[in-house]
Structure 1
Amino acid sequence: MNNICDSYFTTLVDESCDVSTKEQFVVAVRFVEKLSQVIERFICISHGYDEASNMQ
């Protein structure tokens, strides 16, 4: 994550339910390096616990 520095970046957060209706959240970051190469890094996956789309 140190190579983000002064780069343009965005965070990506998405939620999905599986067939057992358990919510899962994914967090990632996408940024542009100095040579204009787009890089995407996976940060974490988490489960929703109260079925209200809250990460805990």
Structure 2
Amino acid sequence: MSNNWGAVQYDTEKTIIEDRILPTFGKLKLQALTPRTIKSFYADLGRSIRGIK
């Protein structure tokens, strides 16, 4: 755990990474990451937060 983060903030950030980011980018090679991939991720994330499928 980083010294600059409290335990609750650390747990929150860890959960976001594990639940939202890793399922999409976890096995993706950095060379394969494109602006389109990131834009698509943000669009999907926005839809999931608003409850749109």
TM-score (norm 2): 0.21
- More helix, by proportion: 2
- More strand, by proportion: 1
TM-score (norm 1): 0.20
